Amino acid sequence: MTTNRIQSLLQQMTLEEKIAQLTQLATPFYKGASDGGQITGPMAELGITEEVVQNTGSVLGASGAKEVRSIQETHLKENRLGIPLLMMADIVHGFKTIFPVPLAIGCSWDTEEAERSAEIAAKEASVSGVHVTFAPMVDLVRDPRWGRVMESTGEDPYLNSEFARAFVRGFQGNNMTEETDRVAACVKHFAAYGAAEGGRDYNTVDMSERQLRESYLPAYKAALDEGCEMVMTAFNTVEGVPATGNRWLMRDLLREEIGFNGVLISDWGAVKEMIPHGVAEDEKEAARKAIEAGVDIEMMTSTYVHHVKELVEEGSLEVSLIDEAVIRILELKEKLGLFENPHRGADVEREQELIMHADHRKAAKELAVKSSVLLKNSGILPLKTEQKVALIGPFAQSGDILGPWSWQGSKEEAVQLYDGLLEKSSGIFVAKGSDIETGSEEMLNGALDAGEKADVIVLALGEHSDMSGEAGCRGDIRLPEVQLELLSTIKQLGKPIVVVLFNGRPLDLTGVVQECDAIVEAWYPGTEGGAALADLLYGDANFSGKLSMSFPHTVGQVPVYYNNYNTGRPQGAPDAQVRYVSQYLDIPNEPLYPFGYGLSYTTYEYSGLQISSETMTPDETLTISVDVKNTGSMAGEEIVQMYVRDMAGEVIRPLKELKDFEKLPLQPGDKKTVSFTLTEEQLRYHHINLTYKSDAGTFTVYAGPNSRDVQSATFTLLK
- Contact indicator for 694, 650 with CB cutoff of 8 Å: no
The helix (H) or strand (E) run that includes residue 7 is helix 4-12
Instruction: Give 188 or 376: the residue with its C-beta nearer to ligand BGC.
Output: 188
# of chain residues touching ligand BGC (CB under 6 A): 6
Q: Contact with ligand BGC (CB under 6 A): which of 198, 227, 268, 511? A: 268
Choose among 682, 108, 1, 151: nearest CA to 371: 108
Among 267, 528, 638, 646, binds ligand BGC (CB under 6 A): 267
Question: Could you tell me whether strands 697-704 and 636-646 are parallel, antiparallel, or unpaired per DSSP bridges?
Answer: antiparallel
How far, in Å, CA of 435 to CA of 443, rounded? 9
For ligand BGC, what does the binding mask look like between residues 631 and 670, x meaning CB under 6 A? ----------------------------------------
Site string for ligand BGC, 159-198 (x = CB under 6 A): -----------------------------x----------
Quote the CA–CA distance of 124 and 130 in Å, as a whole number.
9
Count Cβ atoms below 10 Å from residue 629 Cβ, excluding itself: 17
**Nearest approach, Cβ of 698 to ligand BGC (angstroms)?**
43
Of 134 and 502, the one with the shorter C-beta distance to ligand BGC is 134
Which 8-state DSSP code applies to residue 358? H
Minimum Å gap between C-beta 176 and ligand BGC is 20
- Rounded Cα distance, 271 and 307, in Å: 12
Q: Which is nearer to ligand BGC, 406 or 434 (CB)?
A: 406
Closest CB 179 distance from ligand BGC, rounded Å: 23
- Which residue(s) pair with 624 in the sheet? 611, 676
**CB 427 within 8 Å of CB 414:** no
Q: Residue 185 in 3-state DSSP? A: strand
Give the DSSP letter of residue 138. Answer: -
Choosing from 29, 99, 134, 604, the residue that interacts with ligand BGC (CB under 6 A) is: 134
Residues 6+ apart with CB under 8 A from 443: 431, 432, 433, 434, 435
Contact between residue 451 and residue 390 where contact means Cβ atoms under 8 Å apart: yes
Nearest approach in angstroms of CB 470 to ligand BGC is 5
Rank residues 171 and 595 by Cβ distance to ligand BGC and give the closer one: 171
Q: Which is nearer to ligand BGC, 269 or 618 (CB)?
A: 269
**627: β partners:** 607, 673
d(C-alpha 484, C-alpha 508), whole Å: 12
Going by C-beta distance under 8 Å and a sequence separation of 6 or more, which residues neighbour residue 298? 22, 23, 24, 266, 271, 287, 290, 304
Beta bridge partners of 241: 238
* Helix 111-127, helix 358-371: angle, nearest 10: 150
Binder to ligand BGC among 78, 323, 470, 515 (CB under 6 A)?
470
Residue of 110, 267, 347, 646 marked catalytic? 267
- Smallest gap from Cβ 328 to ligand BGC, in A, equals 19
Minimum separation from the CB atom of position 268 to ligand BGC (A): 4
Closer residue to ligand BGC in complex, CB, 62/547: 62
Give 190: exposed, middle or buried? Use CB within 10 Å, 0-12, 13-18, 19+.
buried
Establish if 201 lies at the interface with ligand BGC (CB under 6 A).
Answer: no
User: What is the Rg, in whole angstroms, of the alpha carbon atoms belonging to the chain?
Assistant: 26
Using CA atoms of 689, 695, 699, 702 in order, give the dihedral in degrees to the nearest 10: 60
Q: Which is nearer to ligand BGC, 268 or 339 (CB)?
A: 268
Nearer to ligand BGC, 90 or 113 (CB): 90
Taking Cα atoms as reference points, which of 23, 10, 90 lies closest to residue 265?
23
Helix (H), strand (E) at residue 50 = helix 50-55
267 part of the active site: yes
Residue 489, class by beta-carbon neighbours within 10 Å (0-12 exposed, 13-18 middle, 19+ buried)?
A: middle
Nearer to ligand BGC, 90 or 331 (CB): 90
Binders of ligand BGC in range 553-612 (CB under 6 A): none
Indicate the SS3 state at residue 88: strand
State the nearest-atom distance from the C-beta of 598 to ligand BGC, in Å. 28
Amino acid (one-letter) located at 372:
S
The residues with which 456 forms a beta bridge, in sequence order, are 389
CA distance 638 to 600: 9
Interface with ligand BGC includes 200 (CB under 6 A)? no
CB of 90 to ligand BGC, least distance (A): 5
323 or 470: whose CB is closer to ligand BGC?
Answer: 470
Q: How far apart are CA 89 and CA 186, in angstroms?
A: 10
Whole-angstrom Cα distance, residue 144 to residue 519? 19
By CB under 6 A, is residue 155 in contact with ligand BGC? no
Three-state DSSP class for residue 602: coil
Q: Cα separation of 357 and 138, whole Å? A: 28
| x/- track of binding to ligand BGC for residues 78-107 (CB under 6 A) | ------------x-----------------
Residue 56 CB, nearest distance to ligand BGC (Å)? 16
**Binding flag, residue 307, ligand BGC (CB under 6 A):** no
Backbone CA torsion sign across 425, 428, 433, 434: positive
Nearest residue to ligand BGC on Cβ basis: 134
CB of 444 to ligand BGC, least distance (A): 38
Q: Residue 78 or 470: which CB sits closer to ligand BGC?
A: 470
Beta 427-431 vs 636-646: how paired, if at all?
unpaired
Query: What is the nearest approach in angstroms of ligand BGC to the Cβ of residue 188?
Result: 6
Which CB, 95 or 134, lies closer to ligand BGC? 134
Rounded Cα distance between 590 and 467, Å, is 26
Rank residues 271 and 547 by Cβ distance to ligand BGC and give the closer one.
271
- As a whole number of angstroms, the distance between CA 417 and CA 534 comes to 7
Q: Is 301 in a helix, a strand, or coil?
A: coil
Type of residue found at 256:
E
Min separation Cβ 302 and ligand BGC, Å: 16
In the complex, least distance from residue 201 CB atom to ligand BGC, rounded to whole angstroms: 9
What is the spatial distance between Cα 524 and Cα 401, in angstroms, rounded to a whole number? 5
Q: State which amino acid sits at residue 166.
A: A
Binding site for ligand BGC (CB under 6 A): 90, 134, 188, 267-268, 470
Active site positions, annotated: 267
